[in-house]
Chain A
């Protein structure tokens, strides 16, 4: 039986963090945590309280083999990735051309581009910038963004939300441009759950927008990231393509 008493819950959370809760009891506690956000928060508070104990430990540098193994495991196709190393989203594990070439996504993209040459500042059908953002977990395309690299005035991003998206109350989806190299992400505005929508971007961002390596969307508190950088989980991201 899961305890309801706040005192008992707090001490169990503390013993979980401390590590003295083990075996069956530990597994059971982990199971409770999955469906109990308040319990997870209590665990988080204990982690924050006790974590400074680790500051007492003098650092021990790992041998070079450790990083080599990690690198090989997060990047199964290193040769191919090496060619892209200088770009933001330069990991093949992340951006899979195989999935991009899949018929389903290609038709989504095509339909999208055809529609996007409607009444807008899109100069013509000859050139457009497109980002198809994927859910980082499932690799399914979830949002696409397109705009015309030419034109005057504020660039208008045409956003399409793929599938039936739901947004938790009190949260916001913030769209970010990911510049080439080591520059920090730049906020472009907010996305709602409507299937088709437009986001206007300040004119001075046009150049940066056209040069962006990719885009990402993060989950933020209502009103946007308090830090000016993505602060919550990344819900979708993808690479910019000129077509």
Chain B
């Protein structure tokens, strides 16, 4: 059992020191996730706060057999951030979106390389490598930056149907590849 599992089990028994330690170990990574989606630090910190209160209140439902602690917590943060960014008053400016989209352009170095180097993610990195550049870019823009189909369509200058196809085909291929890798 790794350290996070242990902390989660103790949090479920209402051990506040374990919760403080859980926060210390994970809040930096989780804030990064929220910040990528909502792109404003004060908003991201608000989401982080709400998420940790949520984590504390629902930790007794956490099921280790079903998911890893970090995946469970990331999902809580991402879902909150996605809800947030979909509210009309929290939309991102066009200039910002253009910058983000450019960052994930097919020939831009960086994010995929970082993924290749990250521990535990080599299967995902390897499989993302089998996708077309457009498929990879659209999945990363949606997952990490919370972009909707229509935002991608607008900023990539493609019809909506094309974007939807890139995302869907990319996901199908990713699943096929990852299932084969883990089999």
Contacts and interface: CB of A to CB of B under 8 A. Distances in A.
Interface of A: 10-11, 14-15, 17-20, 22-23, 41, 44, 47-63, 65-67, 69-71, 73-75, 81, 85, 88-91, 93-95, 136-137, 178, 182, 184-185, 214, 216, 218, 221, 226-235, 237
Given A11-B171, A20-B167, A57-B29, A48 B68 contact: yes
Interface of B: 1, 5-6, 9-10, 12-17, 19-20, 23, 27-29, 31-33, 35-36, 44-45, 48-49, 52-53, 56-57, 60-68, 70-71, 74-75, 78, 82, 86, 111, 114-115, 118-121, 123-125, 139-140, 142-144, 146, 148-149, 167-168, 171-172, 174-175, 178
B142 A18 contact: yes
Contact of B149 (A11, A20, A60, A234): A20
Contacts of A10: 175
Contacts of B48: 62, 66
Contacts of A44: 66-67
Contacts of B56: 70, 74
Nearest to B53: A73
A52 B27 contact: no
Contacts of A66: 27, 45, 48-49
Contacts, number: 188
A184 B32 CA distance: 31
A23 B85 CA distance: 12
A178 B13 contact: yes
Given A52-B121, A56-B114, A62 B15 contact: no
A19 B9 contact: no
Given A11-B171, A51-B71, A60-B31, A221 B13 contact: no
Contact of B120 (A55, A75, A178, A216): A55
Nearest to B34: A60
B70 A51 contact: yes
A60 B39 CA distance: 12
